[in-house]
Every structure is written in structure tokens, then in C-alpha cells.
Amino acid sequence: MNVVERFLGYVKMYTTSCEDSEKTPSTERQFALADKLVKELKEAGVADAARDDKCYVYGHIPATEGCEKAPAIGFIAHMDTAPDFSGEGVNPRIIENYDGTDITLGTSGRVLSNKDFPHLKTLKGKSLIVTDGKTLLGGDDKAGCAEIVAAAEELIKSGAPHGRICIGFTPDEEIGRGADFFSVEKFGAKYAYTVDGGPVNQVEFETFNAAKAIFEINGFNVHPGSAKDIMINAQLVAMEIDANLPKGETPRDTEGYEGFYHLCHMQGDVEKASLYYIIRDHDAEKFALRKAMVQTIARKMNAKYGEGTVKVTVTDQYRNMAEVIRENFHLITNATEVIKEQDLCPETEPVRGGTDGSRLSFMGLPCPNLGTGTYAMHGPYEHTCIEEMETSVKIILGIIGKYAKN
């Protein structure tokens, strides 16, 4: 079974995680893919592949003779898909020899266009896997899952020299819990890579510092006919809170190393309202100032409308893994050398997000991120390039070879 066949099987499985659930995994449906991955790893020759009761999958390939002293290298991907858009009933379509024009996505009325996605012109002549416009694809991160299993199978079949190889698949990455019950000790690698990125020539080791901020607003509801100087409309206070945030610091307005405040969802009426934000910045000092800003706004609202009107809860989610990776920069050097060997120009752009590696790096497992060939993640325009998936397998094998030699 090749990497594409594996991928097409994985994306048809409904594995969306759920932030409202307190269980691990957050959705029982993730177990089905975990069990499938265990089965395929065993068929590929990973004899000890298994999943635990929290839906984490682990497997190991012993070092070949003479490479026992090579550092154990790991590769990790996540099984869940983002709850941002439907992941149920995925109907993938392969477009061979893509001609570079806009792509109509089934009967959904959606179009994957060059205007919205200028990178499409770089994929001309390649084969793409797209959605029918009614679901996301699941390339994030089932492409990574397929590439790791395919690389494991090829490595074992080839007999190429290698140190101990550690494989891991996690649930609930998309809701920030992928590392919650990951056992670094059981995994057993000294260093690892998540295979969870975009273009296959990218190696990512700088992520956002991340937090969430939840505003809870208590209004005061009286008859509007006699509300003068009495009513506090929680919805209007919510609007005022958002208006007090710095202008031009939303995801739409920022790029590169620029941070943002992102209003993910809101709800309410006159009596009560709530706002859910995520706060992101690569720079630790600027990140601290952003968190302080939302606290300042809450105090300002309480001073205006009365103590207890607004409560804000700020919770850290992950840190910029660059702090750890810079001390282990051979991970980036080796990956970029292998990418060059594939006649590609390596890029090390900052991640405008996070991966399991963000947390794992601070758990003692330095863990930058490799590309999977997936674009426009988390929505109906998501698409994966077949040639880049195949190249990802070669990059994984090339990295393994580097550490075997060194």
C-alpha cells in the first residue's frame, strides 16, 4: 500500500476532536483510526505497535547492527481533525496533472481559486487531492500519519542502516491537548520531528506563544422603557471590549512574526455574554503585554460599569519551541540538508500556530516540524499534493539516514 492509498483511507474516517469534551480522547471516534494505524504498522513490520487507553499510538523499529549508538529519532503526527469545519463524510478527489486553473469543489458552490490561494500556481503539473467543498480534507494531519507509516514500511523493507526509530500518533492536537498524556519515556526518542506542516520544503521550529482569554460579562436587565442609567447590556459591553483591543492586530491583518488577538466565538443576550479569544505572539515579552492588555480592559470595564461586570480568565496553552530547538539546531541542519538533496530550497518560516512539538519540546523532547504537502488547512479548501507526500516520505528516510551516519 503506498502513501496515497493510506491517506485516502485515513481521510474517510471521521476523527474530529471536540473542545467541549473533558474526556481523552475528546471523541471516541478517534480510536478507529488509532487501531487502523496500529494494524498497518504491524503489517509494515513494527512488531510492538500498540495504542493505549488514551488513544496514543506508539511503535518502535530497533536499530540495525552497528547503529545501536545512533540517537533514537522519533516521528509524530496527530489523528484528529479540526473542529473548525466538518470532518464527517469526507469525499476526496484526485486531480492529476493539475493545470493551474481554479478548481470547482463538487456541487458545494465553493471554488479553490488562484485569487484566494496564490500558491496554486506552484502546484501546476502536479497531482492534487481536494474536497467536494462540503468538508475539510484531513490532510492536517492524516497526511503526516500516512507519510510516517509509509516511511516505516520502506525503511524496514530496504534494510538501510538506522538507529532506533520511534513512532507516535496523538489524539486531540487540534484542541491543544495532543501532548497531555504523551509519554516521552515510553516513546523513547532523544529527538523527534512532528510531521504536521504545509509545503514539504519547510522546516518549522519557531511557533507562537499561545494563550486563550475568556471574557464573562454580567449585564443588568430591566425594562427598556425605564432603563436610563440602570441597564447594562452585556452584549454592548462585549462589543466595547473588542473595540478596546488594538486595531489591525487580528489574523487578517498580520503575518510573519506579527502577533494577534483572535475572536473565535461569542454568545450572549442582555443579561450575560461571553467572548472567547486566542492570543498569539512569537516574542515572549510582547506575548506578556498582550495578556496584560486583556486584563487591563477587564479592569477598565469594571471601573466603568461596576465591579463584577467583567471577568477575564487567561490560560497559557503553549510556548515558542524555538527556545529549545536553538539548543539542538542539528535537527534543523540535518532536515534542511535532506530537503536540498531532494532538489528543493528549504524554508524555515515561523509557524503561525503550534504543533504537538511546541509542548513536547518543553517536556524534554526537542521536536521541530516537517511539511506534509498540505495547504489551506481547517476548511473546505484544504488540499494535499501527492508528489509532496511522496517527497515527505523520502525526507523522513533521509533524516533517519543522516542520524545513522552521525
Q: Is 80 a catalytic residue?
A: yes
> At 157, is the secondary structure helix, strand, or coil?
helix
> At 316, is the secondary structure helix, strand, or coil?
strand
Distance CA 261, CA 271 (A): 25
All cell numbers assigned to 331: 535537527
> At 250, is the secondary structure helix, strand, or coil?
coil
Q: Is 173 a catalytic residue?
A: yes
* Identity of residue 177: R
Which residues are CB-contacts of 31 (< 8 A; sequence separation ≥ 6)? 25, 51, 55
What distance separates the 2 farthest-apart alpha carbons in the chain?
A: 85
Q: At what angle do helices 3-11 and 139-158 cross, to 10 degrees?
A: 150
- Catalytic annotation, pick one of 40, 80, 140, 141: 80
- Catalytic annotation, pick one of 141, 172, 173, 382: 173
- Report the catalytic residues: 80, 173
